[in-house]
C-alpha cells in the first residue's frame, strides 16, 4: 500500500460502505475506469471478485487512470459508455479516499457528474454521464458565431445566461434576452424564468440558444426582423408566467406571449408546450390528433357514450377523458398552442403499471395511448373467458375468423375498429416438422431495418514466427457474432486456421481475459486491447500446452505483513503465449524455447558478453540458478534445431523453425531428458565454445495476474517440469540483464496493416420501406437464446418462424426499429428509409385474398427523432384533415411544411391511412383472430411462449434500457 493509506482490509471496508449508497439529486459522483477499479478490487481482495485470485498481495493498481474513457486527446467522453462495463460510479467521499491513497494519473482531472432526476412519469435519480451540448449564438450586429458548449440538465437559465455573457463578452450592465430557437428556424421561444433548469424548459441536445442584447436606443434587435412578427403578444399575453413563444404560420418570425391570434389559429394547427422532456409525448400526440377517424370520433359525442370507467384493465376512463379534452383544445381553432398538462398527469398515473414501458420513446407512448384509449372505450363491459384452440391443421380462414371473433368478444372499441388487424405467425419445428399457426391482432408493425449489423474490431495479430512483428489490423465482424467469427475474419487475412488462434484481452502487461471461441463479441469493447496469438497446434492437442507468459522486472525484497520475504515485481511489455511439450519439457528446454520466441527483441549473450553484477539481494536471487545450470549453454536449443549453430555468435537467435521442431520432436522424446540434454550438450561442446552459463532471465510459475505463489521456482535439474494448462509462466529479468539484452521498444513494436486506414462505410445509405416489410415477413430461424417449445418433441427447438399479414387496419402505424438495444450494445440506425407519401401498396403482402380489396395507403403523420442515443429530440409532421396541408410540429411551434420535406433520416414512426377509409364504415367482418397480446403482457392468453415475444403488438420492440434522454 501507499504511504499513509490504511491496510488493504481497511481500504476495502471503507470503500465497500460507499458502494451501496443510492443516488441523491444534486450530488456529485465520479466516473472511474472499470479496469482500474477492478484491479483495485483484486488488490484489496474484494470477495465479489473471482474468489480464487483474491489474496493479500497483488499487482498495485497504480494511480487512478480514466484516460481511456475519453476520446483520444480530448476531454470529451467516448460515446455509448456503459455503466459497470466501461466505468464505475463512485460517491464523492469514496473517490476522494481512493485519490488520497493512490493518486491520480498525471494530467488527469476527476470526471465529476451531477445526479439528476429523470423520467417523465416516474422520477428516478441518475448520474448525468453525458452533458447536454447547446449551440449558442448571439443576435447582435456583428457576430454570427455559433459556440457549442456543454451544460448539465440541472443548470439554470441564469447559469446559461451567465455563460453566454462570458462567451460573447457581453457586459453585465447590458440587458439581454434568451431565446430557444426551434428546428424550423423561424420560431423562437423566450427563456425568461431564470431559476428554471434547462431540463424544466425542455431544452435538448443540439438546441440552438440565441442571446439578444438590448440596443442603445432601447429597442431589441429581433423586434425589427419582421414588421408584423410581433402580433402574438397582443391578446391574453401572459408575461409573468413562463412566457411561451409560438408561431402559427411559416412566415412569422416569433411571438412573445401566450398567443391567441384569431386570424392565424386554425383547428388542429396547435402546438404543445414542452413540459420538460415531453417532446416524445408531443410528437406522438400530434400524430394521433391528425388521425381523422379518431379525432372525428373524439369530437363527436360518441366517445362519451362508450366511456368505460369500470374496466379493470382500463384507466378508469381518465386517459380517454384527458385525451378528449386535449383534442378539443387542439381542434378548437382558438389557440396557437396548448399545455398538455392534464394528459401528462393522467398518463403518469397509469404508466407505471406497464412494465417494460420505455418512458421516453414516442412510439411506445403512442402504443400506450392506443391501449389506454382502447380499454377506456371498450364496449365490452364484462370480458368472457376464452379458451385458445390450437390451429390443428384447420384452414387459415377458419382459424383466423375464430381468432378474430374470440378477440372481439373481449375487445371492441373505436381503437380496434381503426387500428387493429390480424397477423399470421407460422412456427415450424426443424425436427418433427410440426407446424403451429396463430393469428394475432396487432396495432402497429415494428419493422426491422435491413442493415448489416457489423462492427469493426481493432486487433494486434501476433504471428508464431519469432521474426515477424505483430501487426495491428481492423477486422469486420458480425455485431452479434462470437470470438470464432473474429478468428474467421482474421483467418481471411493471414491464412491461419481459426483453430490455431487464441484471442486475448491484454491489459497492464497481462492477460485480462483469454477468450473462448463460443464467447460473444459483446465481451469486447472498442477500447480493449485485443491480441490474437497464433499457436502451432489447435489448443485441444493433447501433446502441447499453450502457456501464458508474463515478463517481470524482479527487484527489491520487501517484507509483507507475515514477515515473509517477497519480491516486488512489476510486469512489462506484452505477454506471450508459448507452446511447450506437455511431457518432458525441462527447464532448459523452456528457457531455449523462450529465447527463440523472443529472438526479435532479445539478444543472446555472446561468450564475451558480460553484464554488471547485481546488487547483493538480487544476486542472491540469481545465485542458486546460476550454479545449478552451470554447464548448460544457450546453444543447446540450437543444437537440437536445424543448423542454429552459428547463430549464437551474431547475438541473435533467428531460428524460425524452432517451434515446429519442438512440436515434431514431441512424440519421440521419451528418453530421460537429462540423457538427451547431456548428449546434445556433448555434441555442442565440440562445435561451439560453451561458456559458463549465465542465463539472462529466470523462470517461475505465477498466477493469472503475475503474482508469485508458493513454490513458484521451477526446478532446473534436467527433469521434466510439471506443467499444466493452468500454468502461467513468469520470465523474470534483473535490471542489468534486461538493459543489456531486452529491447523493450522492439518488443512492443508492431506494424500497421492497411486495414487500419479504412473507415467502415455502410454499404447501403438508402433503404426502401418495402425492404423493411420484406425483412419483417421473411422466414427466420429463432436463436439459441430464444427457442420455441415444440409440443410434439416436448423440447425447446430452434424453430423457424414467419409472419404474414392476414388483414390490415384502416390506420396502419409503422414503427421503424432504429434503436437497437441489448445488454451490451446500443445503437441508433440513422439510415434514410424511403417511404411513399401516397399510394403505399400492401396488397402483395396480404395472404388472405378476401381482405386484399383496397389496400392503398396514404401517409398522414410521421414522428421524427433527431440525435443519437443518450440525447435527442422528437418532432412530427402531419397532414391537417381540414385543409389537407402538411405542418411541422416542434413542441409549441407549428409551421407550414410540404410533403417533400417529410421523408428524412429522422423518420421514426409512420402513420398511414387507408385511402378513402373515412368514407367507409369500418367493418371487420373479413378479419379474425385469437388472443390479444396486450401492451402490458398481462392479458396474453397465448399458449405458446413464442407469441408473446414476437408479435409486434406491444412490448416486442421495447428495450431493456431507459437511457434515452429526450425532450
Ligand atoms: Zn418438434
pLDDT (tens digit per residue) in 239-281 = 333 333 333 333 233 333 334 444 568 899 999 988 877 888 9
Fold of domain 8-127: DUSP-like (3.30.2230)
Kindly report the number of other CB atoms within 10 A of residue 394's CB atom: 13
Q: How far is the CA of 484 from the centre of ligand 1 (A)?
A: 29
The residue that leads in pLDDT, 184 or 468, is: 468
The residue that leads in pLDDT, 358 or 410, is: 410
pLDDT band of 566, cuts 50, 70, 90: low
283 Cβ partners below 8 Å, 6+ apart? 362, 863, 864, 874, 875, 876, 889
CA distance 88 to 82: 9
Q: How far is the CA of 773 from the centre of ligand 1 (A)?
A: 29
C-alpha cell at 246: 409560438
The DSSP annotation for 285-313 comes to HHHHHT-HHHHHHHHSSHHHHH--S--TT
Chain region(s) in the chain for CATH 3.10.20.90: 130-264
Kindly report the number of other CB atoms within 10 A of residue 919's CB atom: 6
Listed as own residue / partner, the contacts of 111-114 with beta carbons closer than 8 Å and 24 or more positions apart are 111/30, 111/31, 111/32, 111/66, 111/69, 111/77, 111/87, 112/28, 112/29, 112/30, 113/28, 113/29, 113/30, 113/31, 113/89, 114/26, 114/27, 114/28, 114/29, 114/152, 114/154
Least confident of 56-70, 350-364, 666-680, 825-839: 666-680
Say what the pLDDT of residue 539 is.
67
- Please provide the average confidence, as pLDDT, over all residues in the chain: 76
Q: How far is the CA of 418 from the centre of ligand 1 (A)?
A: 38
Out of 28-32, 226-230, 662-666, give the one with best mean pLDDT.
Answer: 28-32
Say what the pLDDT of residue 764 is.
59
Out of 178-187, 498-507, 560-569, 920-929, give the one with best mean pLDDT.
Answer: 498-507
What angle is formed at CA 817 by the lines to CA 811 and CA 818, rounded to 5 degrees? 125
Asked if 145 and 137 touch (Cβ cutoff 8 Å), the reply is: yes
Say what the pLDDT of residue 863 is.
96
Q: How far is the CA of 778 from the centre of ligand 1 (A)?
A: 21
Residue 697: what are its φ and ψ, rounded to 5°? Answer: -150, 165
CA distance 839 to 769: 13
Task: Note the pLDDT tens digit of each residue in 837-858.
Answer: 999 998 888 888 776 566 789 9
Q: How far is the CA of 946 from the centre of ligand 1 (A)?
A: 14
Asked if pLDDT for residue 735 goes beyond 90, the answer is: no
CA 512 → CA 508, 509, 515, 728, 935, distances in Å? Answer: 8, 9, 10, 13, 43
Say what the pLDDT of residue 421 is.
93
Asked if pLDDT for residue 746 goes beyond 50, the answer is: yes
pLDDT band of 806, cuts 50, 70, 90: very high
Q: Say whether 60 is catalytic.
A: no
Q: How far is the CA of 801 from the centre of ligand 1 (A)?
A: 13
Indicate the burial class of 379 (C-beta count within 10 angstroms; 0-12, 13-18, 19 or more). Answer: middle
C-alpha cell at 481: 457474432
Chain region(s) in the chain for CATH 3.90.70.10: 278-450+762-967
Closest Cα to residue 495, out of 464, 455, 541?
464
Asked if 50 and 705 touch (Cβ cutoff 8 Å), the reply is: no
CA distance 706 to 728: 8
Q: How far is the CA of 437 from the centre of ligand 1 (A)?
A: 14
Q: Name the catalytic one among 279, 287, 639, 790.
A: 279
Out of 56-60, 168-172, 942-946, 948-952, give the one with best mean pLDDT.
Answer: 168-172
Task: Note the pLDDT tens digit of each residue in 886-903.
Answer: 999 999 999 999 999 999
Kindly report the number of other CB atoms within 10 A of residue 537's CB atom: 17
Buried b (16+ CB within 10 A) or exposed e, 584-605: bbbbbbbbbbbbbbbbbbbbbb
Q: How far is the CA of 434 from the centre of ligand 1 (A)?
A: 5
CB hemisphere CA count around 851 (13 angstroms) = 25
Task: Note the pLDDT tens digit of each residue in 205-238.
Answer: 888 899 998 888 888 887 655 433 333 332 233 3
CA distance 430 to 445: 27
Q: How far is the CA of 427 from the centre of ligand 1 (A)?
A: 10
Say what the pLDDT of residue 263 is.
57
- Beta-sheet strand order (sheet of 146-151): 146-151, 132-139, 208-213, 176-181, 188-190
C-alpha cell at 367: 402504443
Task: Taking each helix axis as running N to C, give the angle between helix 279-289 and helix 362-376, from 0 to 180 degrees, rounded to the nearest 10.
Answer: 50
Query: Distance of alpha carbon 104 from its chain centroid, rounded?
Result: 28
185 Cβ partners below 8 Å, 6+ apart? none
Q: How far is the CA of 803 from the centre of ligand 1 (A)?
A: 19
Task: Note the pLDDT tens digit of each residue in 474-489.
Answer: 998 888 788 998 999 9
C-alpha cell at 327: 383534442
Chain region(s) in the chain for CATH 3.30.2230.10: 8-127
What is the residue whose three cell numbers read 474467421?
488
Asked if 236 and 265 touch (Cβ cutoff 8 Å), the reply is: no
Asked if pLDDT for residue 909 goes beyond 90, the answer is: yes
Q: Say whether 873 is catalytic.
A: yes
Report helix, strand or coil for 260.
coil
The DSSP annotation for 549-561 comes to EEEEEEEEEEE-T
Say what the pLDDT of residue 556 is.
54
What is the residue whose three cell numbers read 407460422?
426
Fold of domain 130-264: Ubiquitin-like (UB roll) (3.10.20)
pLDDT band of 43, cuts 50, 70, 90: confident
pLDDT band of 282, cuts 50, 70, 90: very high
Q: Name the catalytic one among 525, 574, 815, 873.
A: 873
Q: How far is the CA of 952 from the centre of ligand 1 (A)?
A: 25
Say what the pLDDT of residue 253 is.
32
What is the residue whose three cell numbers read 479516499?
97
The residue that leads in pLDDT, 609 or 689, is: 609
Q: How far is the CA of 948 from the centre of ligand 1 (A)?
A: 20
Q: How far is the CA of 797 from the centre of ligand 1 (A)?
A: 7
CA 479 → CA 483, 523, 721, 834, distances in Å? Answer: 11, 11, 43, 25
Pairing of strands 544-559, 728-733: parallel
Closest Cα to residue 888, out of 872, 906, 914, 871?
906
Q: How far is the CA of 9 from the centre of ligand 1 (A)?
A: 56
Residue 324: what are its φ and ψ, rounded to 5°? Answer: -60, -45
**Secondary structure string (H, E, C) spanning 636-686:** HHHHHCCCCCCHHHHCCCCCCCHHHHHHHHHCCCCCCHHHHHHHHHHHHHH
Closest Cα to residue 819, out of 804, 829, 833?
829
pLDDT band of 47, cuts 50, 70, 90: low
Asked if pLDDT for residue 940 goes beyond 80, the answer is: no
Q: How far is the CA of 929 from the centre of ligand 1 (A)?
A: 24
Q: Residues of the chain with pLDDT > 70: what percent?
A: 74
Q: How far is the CA of 425 from the centre of ligand 1 (A)?
A: 17
Kindly report the number of other CB atoms within 10 A of residue 285's CB atom: 26
C-alpha cell at 9: 482490509
The DSSP annotation for 360-404 comes to T-HHHHHHHHHHHHHHHT-S-SSPPP-PPPP-TT--HHHHHHHHH
The residue that leads in pLDDT, 949 or 473, is: 473
What is the residue whose three cell numbers read 409472419?
803
Say what the pLDDT of residue 96 is.
94
Out of 8-22, 437-451, 596-610, 950-964, give the one with best mean pLDDT.
Answer: 437-451
Fold of domain 278-450+762-967: Cathepsin B; Chain A (3.90.70)
Q: How far is the CA of 431 from the centre of ligand 1 (A)?
A: 5
CA distance 174 to 183: 28
**Secondary structure string (H, E, C) spanning 801-817:** EEEEECCCCCEEEEEEC
258 Cβ partners below 8 Å, 6+ apart? 236, 237, 238, 243, 244
Q: How far is the CA of 799 from the centre of ligand 1 (A)?
A: 8
Out of 381-385, 519-523, 789-793, give the one with best mean pLDDT.
Answer: 789-793
Please, what sign has the CA dihedral across residues 864, 867, 868, 873? negative
Say what the pLDDT of residue 17 is.
86
Residue 472: what are its φ and ψ, rounded to 5°? Answer: -85, 130
Say what the pLDDT of residue 669 is.
33
Q: How far is the CA of 792 from the centre of ligand 1 (A)?
A: 5
Say what the pLDDT of residue 825 is.
54
805: which strand partners? 423, 846
Say what the pLDDT of residue 923 is.
39
Please, what sign has the CA dihedral across residues 464, 465, 469, 475? negative
Say what the pLDDT of residue 662 is.
31
pLDDT band of 58, cuts 50, 70, 90: low
Say what the pLDDT of residue 153 is.
86
Say what the pLDDT of residue 23 is.
86
853 Cβ partners below 8 Å, 6+ apart? none
The residue that leads in pLDDT, 619 or 900, is: 900
Asked if pLDDT for residue 163 goes beyond 70, the answer is: yes
Task: Note the pLDDT tens digit of each residue in 420-464.
Answer: 999 999 999 999 999 999 999 999 999 999 877 778 899 999 999
Closest Cα to residue 189, out of 897, 890, 913, 954?
890
Q: How far is the CA of 943 from the centre of ligand 1 (A)?
A: 16
CA distance 87 to 36: 9
In this structure, what DSSP letter does residue 572 have? E
Q: How far is the CA of 409 from the centre of ligand 1 (A)?
A: 32
CA distance 621 to 569: 13
Least confident of 339-343, 673-677, 775-779: 673-677
Closest Cα to residue 500, out of 467, 529, 536, 472?
536
Kindly report the number of other CB atoms within 10 A of residue 92's CB atom: 14
Over residues 564-589, the mean pLDDT reads: 82
Say what the pLDDT of residue 548 is.
93
Q: How far is the CA of 786 from the centre of ligand 1 (A)?
A: 15
- Measure the N-to-C terminal CA separation of the chain; round to a whole number of Å: 48
Q: How many residues does the chain have?
A: 967
Amino acid at each position: 500500500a501507499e504511504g499513509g493509506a490504511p491496510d488493504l482490509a481497511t481500504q476495502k471496508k471503507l470503500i465497500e460502505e460507499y458502494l451501496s449508497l443510492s443516488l441523491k439529486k444534486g450530488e456529485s459522483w465520479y466516473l472511474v475506469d472499470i479496469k482500474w477499479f477492478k484491479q483495485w478490487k483484486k488488490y484489496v481482495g474484494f470477495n465479489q471478485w473471482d474468489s480464487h485470485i483474491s489474496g493479500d498481495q497483488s499487482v498495485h493498481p497504480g494511480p487512478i487512470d480514466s484516460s481511456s474513457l475519453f476520446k483520444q486527446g480530448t476531454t470529451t467522453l467516448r460515446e455509448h459508455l456503459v455503466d459497470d462495463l466501461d466505468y464505475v460510479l463512485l460517491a464523492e467521499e469514496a473517490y476522494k479516499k481512493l485519490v488520497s491513497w493512490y493518486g491520480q494519473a498525471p494530467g488527469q482531472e476527476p470526471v465529476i457528474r451531477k445526479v439528476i432526476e429523470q423520467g417523465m412519469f416516474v422520477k428516478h435519480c441518475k448520474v448525468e454521464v453525458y452533458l447536454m451540448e447547446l449551440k449558442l449564438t448571439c443576435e447582435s450586429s456583428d457576430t454570427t458565431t455559433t459556440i457549442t458548449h456543454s451544460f448539465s440538465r440541472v443548470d439554470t437559465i441564469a447559469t446559461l445566461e451567465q455563460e453566454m455573457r462570458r462567451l460573447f463578452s457581453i457586459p453585465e450592465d447590458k440587458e439581454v434576452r434568451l431565446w430557444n430557437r426551434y428546428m424550423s428556424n423561424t420560431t423562437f421561444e423566450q427563456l425568461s424564468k431564470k431559476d428554471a433548469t434547462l431540463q424544466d424548459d425542455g431544452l435538448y441536445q443540439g438546441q440552438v440558444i440565441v442571446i439578444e442584447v438590448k440596443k442603445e436606443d432601447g429597442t431589441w434587435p429581433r423586434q425589427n426582423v419582421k414588421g408584423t412578427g410581433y402580433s402574438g403578444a397582443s391578446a391574453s399575453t401572459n408575461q409573468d408566467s413562463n412566457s411561451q413563444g409560438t408561431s402559427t404560420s411559416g412566415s412569422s418570425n416569433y411571438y412573445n406571449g401566450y398567443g391567441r391570434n384569431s386570424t392565424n389559429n386554425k383547428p388542429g394547427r396547435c402546438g404543445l408546450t414542452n413540459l420538460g422532456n415531453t417532446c416524445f409525448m408531443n410528437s406522438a400526440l400530434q400524430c394521433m390528433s391528425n388521425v381523422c377517424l379518431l379525432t372525428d370520433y373524439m369530437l363527436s359525442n360518441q366517445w362519451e357514450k362508450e366511456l368505460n370507467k369500470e374496466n379493470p384493465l382500463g384507466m378508469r376512463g381518465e386517459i380517454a377523458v384527458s385525451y378528449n379534452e386535449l383534442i378539443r383544445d387542439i381542434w378548437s381553432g382558438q389557440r396557437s398552442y396548448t399545455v398538455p398538462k392534464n394528459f401528462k398527469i393522467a398518463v403518469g398515473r397509469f404508466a407505471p403499471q406497464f412494465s417494460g414501458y420505455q418512458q421516453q420513446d414516442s412510439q411506445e407512448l403512442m402504443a400506450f395511448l392506443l391501449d389506454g384509449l382502447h380499454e377506456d372505450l371498450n364496449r365490452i363491459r364484462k370480458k368472457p373467458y376464452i379458451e385458445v384452440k390450437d390451429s390443428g391443421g384447420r384452414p387459415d380462414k377458419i382459424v383466423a375468423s375464430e381468432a378474430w371473433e374470440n378477440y372481439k368478444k373481449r375487445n371492441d372499441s373505436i381503437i380496434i375498429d381503426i387500428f387493429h388487424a390480424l397477423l399470421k405467425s407460422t412456427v415450424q419445428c426443424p425436427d418433427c416438422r410440426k407446424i403451429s399457426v396463430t393469428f394475432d391482432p396487432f396495432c402497429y408493425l415494428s419493422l426491422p431495418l435491413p442493415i448489416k449489423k457489423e462492427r469493426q474490431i481493432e486487433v494486434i495479430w501476433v504471428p508464431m514466427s519469432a521474426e515477424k512483428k505483430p501487426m495491428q489490423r481492423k477486422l469486420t465482424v458480425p455485431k452479434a457474432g462470437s470470438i470464432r467469427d473474429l478468428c474467421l475474419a482474421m483467418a481471411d487475412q493471414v491464412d491461419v486456421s481459426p483453430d490455431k488462434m487464441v484471442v486475448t484481452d491484454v491489459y497492464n502487461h497481462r492477460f485480462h481475459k483469454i477468450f473462448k471461441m463460443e464467447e460473444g463479441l459483446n465481451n469486447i469493447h472498442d477500447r480493449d486491447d485485443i491480441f490474437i496469438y497464433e499457436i502451432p497446434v489447435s489448443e485441444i492437442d493433447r501433446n502441447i500446452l499453450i502457456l501464458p507468459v508474463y515478463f517481470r522486472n524482479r527487484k527489491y525484497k520487501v517484507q509483507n505483513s507475515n514477515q515473509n520475504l517477497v519480491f516486488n515485481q512489476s510486469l512489462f511489455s506484452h505477454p506471450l503465449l508459448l507452446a511447450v511439450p506437455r511431457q518432458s519439457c525441462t527447464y532448459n528446454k523452456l528457457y531455449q524455447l523462450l529465447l527463440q520466441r523472443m529472438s526479435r527483441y532479445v539478444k543472446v549473450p555472446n561468450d564475451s558478453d558480460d553484464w554488471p553484477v547485481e546488487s547483493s539481494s538480487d544476486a542472491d536471487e540469481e545465485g542458486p540458478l546460476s550454479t545449478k545450470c552451470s554447464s548448460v549453454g544457450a546453444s543447446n536449443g540450437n543444437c537440437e534445431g536445424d543448423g542454429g549453430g552459428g547463430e549464437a555468435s551474431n547475438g541473435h537467435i533467428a531460428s524460425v523453425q524452432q517451434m515446429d521442431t519442438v512440436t515434431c520432436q514431441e512424440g519421440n522424446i521419451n528418453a530421460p531428458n537429462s540423457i538427451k540434454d547431456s548428449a546434445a550438450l556433448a555434441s555442442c561442446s565440440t562445435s561451439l565454445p560453451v561458456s559458463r552459463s549465465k542465463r539472462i532471465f529466470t523462470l517461475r510459475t505465477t498466477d493469472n495476474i503475475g503474482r508469485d505463489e508458493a513454490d513458484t521456482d521451477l526446478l532446473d535439474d534436467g527433469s521434466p517440469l510439471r506443467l499444466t494448462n493452468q500454468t502461467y509462466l513468469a520470465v523474470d529479468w534483473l535490471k542489468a540483464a534486461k538493459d543489456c539484452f531486452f529491447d523493450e521498444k522492439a518488443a512492443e513494436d508492431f506494424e500497421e496493416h492497411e486495414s487500419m486506414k479504412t473507415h467502415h462505410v455502410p454499404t447501403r445509405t438508402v433503404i426502401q420501406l418495402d425492404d423493411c416489410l420484406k425483412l419483417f415477413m421473411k422466414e427466420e430461424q429463432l436463436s439459441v437464446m430464444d427457442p420455441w417449445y415444440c409440443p410434439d418433441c416436448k423440447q425447446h427447438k430452434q424453430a423457424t418462424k414467419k409472419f404474414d399479414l392476414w388483414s390490415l387496419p384502416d390506420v396502419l402505424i409503422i414503427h421503424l426499429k432504429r434503436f437497437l438495444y441489448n445488454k451490451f450494445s446500443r445503437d441508433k440506425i440513422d439510415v434514410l428509409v424511403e417511404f411513399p407519401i401516397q399510394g403505399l401498396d400492401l396488397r402483395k403482402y396480404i395472404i388472405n385474398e378476401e381482405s386484399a380489396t383496397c389496400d392503398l395507403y396514404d401517409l398522414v403523420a410521421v414522428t421524427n427523432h433527431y440525435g443519437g442515443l443518450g440525447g435527442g429530440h422528437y418532432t412530427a409532421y402531419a397532414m391537417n384533415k381540414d385543409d389537407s396541408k402538411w405542418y411541422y410540429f416542434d413542441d409549441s411551434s407549428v409551421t407550414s411544411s410540404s410533403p417533400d420535406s417529410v421523408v428524412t433520416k429522422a423518420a421514426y414512426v409512420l402513420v398511414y391511412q387507408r385511402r378513402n377509409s373515412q368514407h367507409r364504415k369500418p367493418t371487420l367482418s373479413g378479419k379474425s383472430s385469437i388472443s390479444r397480446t396486450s401492451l402490458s403482457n398481462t392479458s396474453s392468453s397465448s399458449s405458446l411462449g413464442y407469441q408473446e415475444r414476437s408479435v409486434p403488438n406491444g412490448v416486442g420492440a421495447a428495450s431493456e434500457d431507459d437511457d434515452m434522454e429526450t425532450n
